[in-house]
Amino acid sequence: MKTTIALTGLALLLTSPAFAQSAAEKTGVNSVLGVAPKTEDFVAEAATSDIFEIESSKLALERSDAATKAFAQQMLADHEKTSRELKSLVSSGKVKAGIPSTMTSSQQDMINKLRELKGDDFIKQYHSDQENAHQEAVDLFKRYGDGGDNADLKAWAASTRPALEHHLEMAKDLNK
């Protein structure tokens, strides 16, 4: 009975026009199924991901070893660039979506945790956060690039994904 109720609730969420992909994106259902997020969800997730990358990398520039600082400098430059590109797509009117100005509460929690750490503890946590964040970003950009509903944004997601895949490989190398 509980399973039936849960499945019915999930089906209603997935088929309700107002919440269909937003709820599925938030719960991770879209990622598991490989479904592209709604444009609004993609823009919000891409923007907050950039904010997190920029803020965490600024901390890494202050608190880490040479290899991590080099990685953080690259993340800072690349994510500031993608942030500008996304804002340009929205401000040009090609993409109809709002861009959040703050990261999610879970991303803010990760930043707060990083702020409490120093030395090797900071470096290990930053490396781990970077690998996880880039894995999520690659998945997000792949799903939207493959199946998004806005042609301009879909092309941007597809062209940006290789850099994110490179970032993921760099993060994995740091995490060894």
Residue 23: is its pLDDT beyond 70?
A: no
Per-residue pLDDT, averaged over 123-133, amounts to 97
Distances (CA, A) of 33 to 4, 139, 143: 20, 11, 10
Compute the distance between CA of residue 130 and CA of residue 174 in angstroms, rounded to an integer. Answer: 9
Q: What is the pLDDT of residue 57?
A: 98
Region class of 34: left (phi > 0), else alpha (psi between -120 and 50), else beta: left
Q: How confident is the model at residue 32 (pLDDT cuts 50, 70, 90)?
A: confident
Structure-token pair, residue 88: 């340009």
Residue 51: is its pLDDT beyond 60?
A: yes
Q: What is the pLDDT of residue 33?
A: 72
> Hey, what CATH topology would domain 36-174 get?
Ferritin (1.20.1260)
Residue 97: is its pLDDT beyond 50?
A: yes
**Mean pLDDT score of the chain, rounded to an integer?**
87
Compute the distance between CA of residue 13 and CA of residue 144 in angstroms, rounded to an integer. Answer: 20
Q: Please list the residue range(s) of the chain that carry CATH number 1.20.1260.10.
A: 36-174
Compute the distance between CA of residue 151 and CA of residue 93 in angstroms, rounded to an integer. Answer: 13
Contacts of 166 (CB under 8 A, 6+ apart): none
Per-residue pLDDT, averaged over 76-105, amounts to 96
